[in-house]
Structure 1
Amino acid sequence: MTATGTHDTGELLRYACRQAGLDADGAEPIRLGENAIFRLPGGIVARISRPGQQDAARREVRIAQWLADHDIPAVRALDGLDQPVQAYGRAVTFWHELPDHHNGTPGQVAQILRRLHELPLTEGHPFSDLDPFVRLDERITAATSLTEDDRAWLRQHLATMRDRYEHLPVGLPHTVLHGDAWVGNVAATNEGQVVLLDLERASIGPPEWDLVSTAIKHTSFAWISADEYRDFCHRYGHDVTTWDGFEVLRDIRELRMTCYLAQHAAENPNARSEAALRVACLRGKHGSRPWSWSPAS
């Protein structure tokens, strides 16, 4: 299995399961990336975080409970277990597996975001303020498949975006955010329930941050149709592209998508041409949007 420091994920998983009193026999990998995710017997999912994420994992478990207490359908942490479990310096959390499901539609994303954004902020909530630039410095440094000129440009572009974000125009009132709201993080079960996944970036901030993720799927990349985007806006009740701050959040989202892929391209040769294309687009070398980006797997 994938190595994680001096221990592979299988060893980490078995150690964490022993501490939690769970059975790791027959565990099946769901996704092995920055966070390794496994399916365990008994309808349980284990998530092994990247190093140094103990506090973030603990907060994600608290957020899942807070959302459950406020009737927002989202992934649920395993009950009756002190989480996260520590395994060789990694945080491991355990979750209830969803029933059979598929990615949500843009309209379903809009509906669940509207519910989320309407929540009142109760005292003692577990959310921190949105940081739209989290890990971008680290990702640019790790993007060794890019030319040094491209990496220097990305660093300068990041500094420019930080300044633009400081002067973001006034928009909708700040709310609870999912933080990474797109169809891949919204599941629709075969029974018709729509559920939020991946609560790692949940925070407090401008709701436009959640809305722009779907908007750019249409305006920047043409991954969804005009009809799908109109349905998204109708179901949510607002079109973020009409807001004066849209281009700022759009540009930050595109930068995040580029830096994510560029970091992984350092270890995955198949992603290198796509990473270089994305940087070239941001640098104005491929004309106006929509650009011919390929969705990251």
Structure 2
Amino acid sequence: MSYPSPDTQTLQSVLKRVGGITGLETDEARLIKFTNNALYALDREQVVIRVAGSEPIARLVDTVIAAAEWFADHNLPTVRLWGETSQPLEVEGFMVTFWHQVPDGGSSVTGKQLGQFLRRMHSLTSAPAAIKPWQQLEATRNRITAGRRQMTTDQGKRLLALADQVANEMADVRYVLEPGPIFGDAQIGNLIAGRHGGVMCDFDSVAVGPREWDLIPAAVAQARFGFPVDHHAELVDAYGWDVTAWEHYDTFRRLRELQLLGSVLPIIDTSPRVRSQWEHRYATIDQADAAWEIYET
């Protein structure tokens, strides 16, 4: 049985059913965002409901829960699971998890906070068995292959050819940092401004692998999105190492950009804006200085 399509009407039905099961008042659920997951805030109860938006994301739910519990055990500044129901909850075929809402800290998140978090996380030498080895290239290939119906044949072939080029280069990569537990998607967008500093969320990509990968998202984001505040420079100051000076940065940069193209394929046609932004990224993926925009639904 295939994973259900996360259209607006279906998600509203899921929320209503969730309310009936948990007792949460979901009638006033506020959509925070919807890219790989649909996130809804219940402001009165201070709970966030997270609905996995595709089968690949749903398969990661056990990893997400294990990572959340592990982060809490080590007192890292991350979002916490809401403990009033067993998790995950399967509702109308969707995998649903529940989280404590982070009280608004009234300030902006910073690259310094991201760098400090990564330094703390990278000091941990082992992770729970549910957190698997890093396989970003394979995951990206699988997303591209599974998303071929959302692309032209030529687009799919081109992206897979680019993935093959990256794979060939990665066979010769010489790493500088010790491998170990990594966040996997350490971008400024996964930081929430809490009352006591930045709080990390979105654990779908937590894995065991090269620490260099955790420093790539901020560097690529600064290059592609041109944020007015240079979060990457702040991260470098806090972490103590600049991944853009690494001889294999370009290989990892292109892997990250392929990931950013493949990640939204399951939901690309839920919004004309997402489709338009994706087409622009595809057209300019070989232009390292081309400006991109954040996916917005």
Name the aligned partner's letter for residue 192 of structure 2: A
Q: Deviations along 1:217-244, whole A, 9 cap, x unmatched?
A: 334554356x653332121011111222
What is aligned with 2:147? 142
Secondary structure of 2:98's counterpart equals strand
Q: Are 1:140 and 1:259, in contact at CA under 8 Å, matched by a contact in 2?
A: no
Q: Which aligned pairs between 1:1-297 and structure 2 lie closer than 5 A?
A: 4=6, 8-40=10-42, 41-52=44-55, 54-101=58-105, 104-121=109-126, 124-133=128-137, 134-139=139-144, 142=147, 146-189=151-194, 191-223=195-227, 228-260=231-263, 264-282=267-285, 284=286, 286=287, 289-297=288-296
Cα distance between partner residues in 2 of 1:170 and 1:32: 35
Cα 1:128/1:294, change in 2 over 3 Å:
same
Offset at 1:107? 1.8
Q: Deviations along 1:248-294, whole A, 9 cap, x unmatched?
A: 11110011123345665545333445433322333x4x4xx322222
Cα distance between partner residues in 2 of 1:220 and 1:273: 16
Q: Deviations along 1:30-66, whole A, 9 cap, x unmatched?
A: 2244422222241111111135455522321221111
Q: Are 1:143 and 1:266, in contact at CA under 8 Å, matched by a contact in 2?
A: no
TM-score by length of 2: 0.85
Secondary structure of 1:179's counterpart equals coil
Name the aligned partner's letter for residue 153 of structure 1: R
Alignment gaps of 5+ in structure 2: none
Offset at 1:77? 0.4
Q: Are 1:66 and 1:126, in contact at CA under 8 Å, matched by a contact in 2?
A: no
Offset at 1:212? 0.9
Name the aligned partner's letter for residue 169 of structure 1: R
270-279 or 158-167, larger mean C-alpha shift: 270-279
Secondary structure of 1:232's counterpart equals helix
Cα distance between partner residues in 2 of 1:267 and 1:17: 24
Higher relative contact order (Cα pairs below 8 Å, separated by 6+ residues): 2
Cα 1:168/1:97, change in 2 over 3 Å:
same
Cα 1:153/1:174, change in 2 over 3 Å:
same
158-167 or 231-240, larger mean C-alpha shift: 158-167
Cα distance between partner residues in 2 of 1:268 and 1:27: 20
Name the aligned partner's letter for residue 62 of structure 2: R
Instruction: Report sequence identity in percent.
Output: 26
260-269 or 27-36, larger mean C-alpha shift: 260-269
Q: Are 1:178 and 1:203, in contact at CA under 8 Å, matched by a contact in 2?
A: yes
Q: Deviations along 1:167-215, whole A, 9 cap, x unmatched?
A: 32222111221111111101222x3322111111111111111101111
Cα 1:23/1:233, change in 2 over 3 Å:
same
Name the aligned partner's letter for residue 280 of structure 1: A
Name the aligned partner's letter for residue 214 of structure 2: D
Q: Are 1:233 and 1:239, in contact at CA under 8 Å, matched by a contact in 2?
A: yes
Alignment gaps of 5+ in structure 1: none
Structure 1: 4+ residue segments shifted above 6 A = none
TM-score by length of 1: 0.85
Cα distance between partner residues in 2 of 1:275 and 1:24: 32
Secondary structure of 1:199's counterpart equals coil
Q: Are 1:185 and 1:197, in contact at CA under 8 Å, matched by a contact in 2?
A: yes
Cα distance between partner residues in 1 of 2:112 and 2:262: 28
